[in-house]
Amino acid sequence: MTETAHKRQLVIIGGAEDKEGDCVILREFVRRAGGTKANIVIMTAATELPREVGENYIRVFERLGAEHVRIIDTETREDARSSTALEAIAKATGIFFTGGDQARITSILKDTEIDAAIHQRYAEGAVIAGTSAGAAVMPDKMIVEGDSQSTPRMEIVEMGPGMGFLPGVVIDQHFLQRGRLGRLITALIHEPAVLGFGIDENTAIAVTDDQIEIIGEGSVTIVDESESTYNNADTILRDEPLAICGAKLHILPHGYKFNLKTRQAILTNGVAASETVNESVVGV
């Protein structure tokens, strides 16, 4: 099968996903990664407690029936050349990035042999997933850090290179719980991306090629500034409030879908939102 024939799948989680009950999101990841034949590797680069965090996910994935689960612990860039780790990734059907500090993931893994191997498996059909910090790294440009519950201002967000699995967007996690609309909007102004995804806790976006499905108990806030009519970024100082007019806002709960190519929400009956209702347009 050629590379273009494979579906490219991501499961991007807003953090604090259920690991004890029905495990709706992690269950979906295992299902997409092969179900009872899944071969999952857990990437713990983000956390300073790799064994504790990794073993917690091993218990969950094994309980859900995954056939093989193992931890790949990379504390240094030298570890990212491990032949054992590269062999495990080459066989993986699912690759899961834990939470922690997203800057650790990129500083340890980006542009290494493991990075190349993971992208190769993604192109070949392996499912890539990440939670919290592991979600933040999915775009080509990520939020490294930023103030929550703040008025949008250029100074409140620091951006940096991500891992590049979902280019052209910005992702923020723990979204509703930490009041991060201001920093997501600011991040979109920092970068040429036109779509921002704010993912609540115990909520995920499951990406298959150009289509996104919302999974979990919360919602995903999508900011689309592709048709925005005005912002004042070129005329203000870094500590002054941003103004943005004409951006679109979608808030989608479990079961709703969104098309990345058309930038349209898809209702639960499969009809594009633009065909049935007027989409919300906000000035923020």
Q: Provide the edge-to-edge strand list for the sheet that holds 169-173.
A: 169-173, 195-199, 219-224, 247-253, 281-282
The tokens for 15 are 């953090």
End-to-end Cα, the chain, rounded Å: 46
User: Catalytic residue at 250?
Assistant: no
**Number of other residues whose CB lies within 10 A of the CB of residue 4:** 7
CB of 24 closer than 8 Å to CB of 215? yes
CB of 132 closer than 8 Å to CB of 96? no
User: Catalytic residue at 67?
Assistant: no
Cβ-in-10-Å burial (0-12, 13-18, 19+) of 63 comes to: middle
* Per-residue DSSP letter, 4: G
CB of 37 closer than 8 Å to CB of 56? no
Q: Which of 132, 191, 213, 228 is catalytic?
A: 132
Q: Which of 17, 28, 174, 225 is catalytic?
A: 174
**Number of other residues whose CB lies within 10 A of the CB of residue 208:** 14
User: Catalytic residue at 201?
Assistant: yes
Q: Which of 201, 213, 225, 250 is catalytic?
A: 201
Residue numbers annotated as active site: 132, 174, 201
